[in-house]
């Protein structure tokens, strides 16, 4: 099965497309959770995320959809990081669901503990979500995360990937892309920015655990993201969802461009959207309007140096990343699949 962006939606509206959040011509049930005035707004107004924060948006998308899928019976464990700091500066909190603070690296273990407690009390109706940024999840929390996966604890773990440690001042993480500038991979020397051929794919590591469900999503494609949350909530056991969330501050992009940057990341092949069940890839979201990698990079100051002639090899390396993703995850639509 392959999933084109609108294959789930039988009604096509040529004006509004099937890509907008809602549509006045559709029944409420067919619109996204975010289109509904009854959405949970799990992160309320007044949180202190920067202008145009992709993570604030991505987290609300995921948790609102998970709340609806769980019939509002959901507990969230949160790793330390931006998401925690901007939502919950003591004694305020923007969260509107049972939510527990944890350390930088142990949110998967805290989530697993909550799931164990619920099981012990026979509360199968209450579901558990654990979440964090890429630093807390893929670097510091990797051991806890792998443990949660291999024990197949009944937790949906969500990683909001903004590709660096933003809360502490934009330091490199294992998710920082090649050549990107951070506070610790400065633009200096013959290889400015982050090293090429570094980092790792945690979705693929999660798949290697054979857990029931692994998926990647992006804030620019809400329909796709919500479908994946709903699918994840249909499983019991360990599930992993990685959401691509641009960070205007850390990436040097305009706050207004957050969705656009995310869109170009997927349309250029730099961030592949796919799903896997029990270690096998089951679907990939096809590129709808292929964009050159440069279109994605030029919106972000962290990549400004790759456009200099002396760094042409870095630009080429980034192009190769996109090309490999496109091949590996089969991101181009077949002719007969295309709209």
Partner 1 sequence: MSNESTTKPFAVTLEVGGSLLNKTGSWRSERPVYVDRLPPCNNACPAGEDIQGWLYRAEEGDYRGAWESLIAHNPLPAIMGRACYHPCQDACNRAQLDQAVNIHAVERFLGDLALSENWPAPVGASTSGKRVLVIGAGPSGLSAAYHLARLGHQVEIHEAGPLPGGMMRFGIPRYRLPREVVDGEVQRIVDMGVKLELGSRVDDIPALLESGGFDACFVAIGAHVAKRVEIPGPDVARIVDAVSFLHDMETGDAPLQLGRRVVVYGGGNTAVDVARTAKRLGADPVIVYRRSREQMPAHDFEIDEALEEGVVVNWLRTITAADEQGFKIEKMTLDENGWPQPTGEYETIEADSLVLALGQNVDQGILTSLPGVALNRDGVVEVGGDMATAYPGVFAGGDMVPAERTVTVAVGHGKKAARNIDAWLRGQTYSPPPKPEVADYEMLNTWYYTDAAQKVQPVLDAARRTATFDEVHTGLDAGNALFEARRCLSCGNCFECDNCYGICPDNAIIKLGQGQRFEFKYDYCKGCGMCAAECPCGAILMTPEST
User: 110 near 100, Cβ under 8 Å?
Assistant: yes
Least Cβ distance, residue 44 to partner 1 (angstroms): 5
Radius of gyration of the chain (CA): 19
With respect to partner 1, which residue has the nearer C-beta, 222 or 322? Answer: 222
- Tell whether residue 151 is a contact of partner 1 (CB under 8 A): no
Residue among 93, 146, 184, 282 that touches partner 1 (CB under 8 A):
93
Which pair of structure tokens corresponds to residue 145?
A: 């995360």
Residue among 1, 29, 90, 189 that touches partner 1 (CB under 8 A):
90
With respect to partner 1, which residue has the nearer C-beta, 70 or 291? Answer: 291
- Tell whether residue 23 is a contact of partner 1 (CB under 8 A): yes
How many whole angstroms separate alpha carbon 82 and alpha carbon 90? 14
CA nearest to 177, candidates 306, 337, 81: 306
Q: How many amino acids of this chain bind partner 1 (CB under 8 A)?
A: 54
Least Cβ distance, residue 4 to partner 1 (angstroms): 11
How many whole angstroms separate alpha carbon 51 and alpha carbon 247? 10
Least Cβ distance, residue 291 to partner 1 (angstroms): 11
Name the one residue in this structure whose structure tokens are 């679907």. Answer: 283
With respect to partner 1, which residue has the nearer C-beta, 194 or 258? Answer: 258
Identify the DSSP state of 37: T
Chain residues 59-88 in contact with partner 1, contact rule CB under 8 A: 60, 87
CA nearest to 4, candidates 15, 18, 16, 14: 18
CA 167 to chain centre: 17
User: 115 near 139, Cβ under 8 Å?
Assistant: no
Chain residues 2-21 in contact with partner 1, contact rule CB under 8 A: 6, 12-21
- Tell whether residue 117 is a contact of partner 1 (CB under 8 A): no
Chain residues 306-325 in contact with partner 1, contact rule CB under 8 A: none
- Tell whether residue 131 is a contact of partner 1 (CB under 8 A): no
How many whole angstroms separate alpha carbon 246 and alpha carbon 64? 19
Beta strand pairing call for 280-284 and 274-277: antiparallel
Chain residues 248-287 in contact with partner 1, contact rule CB under 8 A: 248, 254-260, 263
Which pair of structure tokens corresponds to residue 188?
A: 């200096």
Least Cβ distance, residue 248 to partner 1 (angstroms): 8
Name the one residue in this structure whose structure tokens are 């969500």. Answer: 158
Question: What are the residues binding partner 1 (CB under 8 A)?
Answer: 6, 12-25, 31-32, 34-35, 37, 41, 43-49, 51-54, 56-57, 60, 87, 90-94, 96, 222, 248, 254-260, 263, 289, 339
């Amino acid at each position: 099965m392959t999933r084109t962006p609108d294959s789930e939606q039988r009604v096509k509206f040529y004006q509004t497309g099937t890509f907008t959040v809602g549509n006045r011509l559709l029944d409420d049930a067919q619109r996204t959770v975010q289109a509904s005035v009854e959405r949970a707004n799990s992160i309320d107004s007044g949180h202190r995320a920067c202008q145009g924060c992709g993570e604030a948006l991505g987290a609300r998308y995921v948790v609102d959809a998970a709340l609806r899928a769980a019939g509002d019976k959901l507990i969230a464990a949160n790793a330390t990081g931006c998401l925690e700091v901007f939502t919950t500066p003591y004694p305020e909190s923007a969260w509107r669901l049972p939510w527990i603070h944890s350390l930088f690296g142990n949110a998967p273990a805290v989530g697993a503990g909550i799931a164990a407690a619920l099981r012990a009390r026979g509360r199968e109706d209450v579901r558990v979500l654990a979440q964090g940024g890429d630093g807390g999840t893929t670097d510091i929390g990797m051991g806890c995360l792998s443990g949660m996966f291999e024990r197949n604890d009944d937790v949906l773990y969500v990683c909001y990937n903004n590709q660096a440690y933003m809360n502490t001042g934009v330091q490199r993480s294992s998710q920082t892309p090649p050549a990107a500038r951070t506070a610790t991979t400065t633009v200096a020397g013959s290889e400015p920015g982050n090293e090429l051929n570094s980092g790792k794919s945690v979705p693929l590591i999660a798949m290697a655990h054979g857990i029931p469900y692994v998926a990647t999503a992006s804030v620019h494609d809400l329909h796709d993201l919500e479908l994946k949350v709903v699918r994840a909530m249909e499983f019991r056991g360990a599930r992993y969802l990685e959401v691509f969330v641009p960070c205007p501050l850390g990436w040097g992009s305009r706050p207004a461009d957050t969705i656009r940057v995310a869109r170009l990341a997927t349309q250029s092949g730099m961030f592949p959207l796919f799903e896997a069940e029990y270690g096998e890839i089951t679907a990939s979201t096809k590129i709808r309007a292929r964009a050159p990698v440069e279109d994605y990079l030029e919106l972000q100051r962290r990549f400004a140096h790759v456009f200099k002639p002396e760094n042409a090899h870095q630009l080429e390396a980034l192009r190769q990343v996109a090309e490999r993703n496109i091949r590996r995850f089969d991101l181009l639509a077949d002719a007969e699949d295309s709209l």
